[in-house]
Chains A and B, each alone.
Chain A
Amino acid sequence: ELKVEQNPLFLSMQEGKNYTIYCNYSTTSDRLYWYRQDPGKSLESLFVLLSNGAVKQEGRLMASLDTKARLSTLHITAAVHDLSATYFCAVGPFWGSEKLVFGKGTKLTVNP
């Protein structure tokens, strides 16, 4: 059974600090996705990582993928309050299935 594990599940950090969220998965996959969800709102696509060594950056967020280690990281640089949200990674699809398997999410709170 495919497992996608994120850690930490809860992260409280101060503005201006750096931190990394980790996403481990148990089965080889074509793609890895990062999504953001604000409270009471839907999921917003942040990044799609397609190959080993892929790195994508948008503002203060940078995502990377190591397919050999089955690990993706979401690095936050100089956090600001607006980044407070829940971040999900998802893996898939797989042969014969359209399914994406999501992690439980990391709830990030950035404090002034």
Chain B
Amino acid sequence: ETGVTQTPRHLVMGMTNKKSLKCEQHLGHNAMYWYKQSAKKPLELMFVYSLEERVENNSVPSRFSPECPNSSHLFLHLHTLQPEDSALYLCASSRTGRGDTQYFGPGTRLTVL
């Protein structure tokens, strides 16, 4: 595998479920990101990790919980989501995080029923 991979690609869940999104980067980068892409809204940054430390949390509700066990892996744990959380969730990575080009994964299309 090369680049940034995400699993699953599609996820349907009920509001009471708990699920996790996984991202893996094979680029040797030190920074990883979670973005939310909703219809008719700009791409929104959710979390930034640099060298496995969370360096940014953009006012994201606590029902979204990120985890970065090492510089190659990033998770987004989901629980008690709302229908308005349905969106495409994109993971990205960059070499150092300070303005380096971000490389995006294919995304997970999430539907909350």
Spell out A's residues near B (CB within 8 Å).
Answer: 4, 30-31, 33, 35, 41-45, 48, 88, 90, 92-93, 97-105
Q: Which of B45, B50, B90 has the most CB of A within 10 A?
A: B45
Is there contact, CB below 8 Å, between B42 and A4? Answer: yes
Tell whether A45 pairs with B99 under 8 Å between CB atoms, given A103-B42, A104-B42: no
Tell whether A42 pairs with B90 under 8 Å between CB atoms, given A93-B99, A97-B56, A98-B31: yes
Is there contact, CB below 8 Å, between B43 and A88? Answer: yes
Is there contact, CB below 8 Å, between B104 and A98? Answer: no
Give the number of residues in B that approach A within 8 Å (Cβ atoms): 25
Write 6 A-B pairs (CB below 8 A) sorted by A numbering: A31-B99, A42-B105, A43-B92, A93-B98, A98-B45, A103-B42
Is there contact, CB below 8 Å, between A102 and B43? Answer: yes
Is there contact, CB below 8 Å, between B41 and A104? Answer: yes
Q: Which residues of B contact A98 (CB under 8 A)?
A: 31, 33, 45, 48, 50, 55-56, 97-98
Q: Which of B28-63 contact A (CB under 8 A)?
A: 31, 33, 40-43, 45, 48, 50, 55-56, 58
Q: Which residues of B contact A4 (CB under 8 A)?
A: 42
Q: Which residues of A contact B107 (CB under 8 A)?
A: 42
User: Is the CB of B103 closer than 8 A to any CB of chain A?
Assistant: yes
A43-B104, A98-B33, A98-B50 known; 11 other A-B pairs, CB under 8 Å? A30-B99, A31-B99, A33-B102, A42-B104, A42-B105, A42-B107, A88-B43, A99-B45, A99-B48, A99-B58, A100-B102
Is there contact, CB below 8 Å, between B43 and A33? Answer: no
Considering the complex, give the chain B residue whose CB is closest to the CB of A50: B99
Q: Which residues of B contact A48 (CB under 8 A)?
A: 101
Q: How close is B67's CB to chain A, nearest CB, in angstroms?
A: 18
> CA of A92 to CA of B101 in the docked complex: distance in angstroms?
11
Q: How close is A46's CB to chain B, nearest CB, in angstroms?
A: 10
The one of A100, A104, A105 in contact with B45, judged by C-beta atoms closer than 8 angstroms, is: A100
The one of B40, B42, B102, B106 in contact with A101, judged by C-beta atoms closer than 8 angstroms, is: B42
> CA of A47 to CA of B91 in the docked complex: distance in angstroms?
19
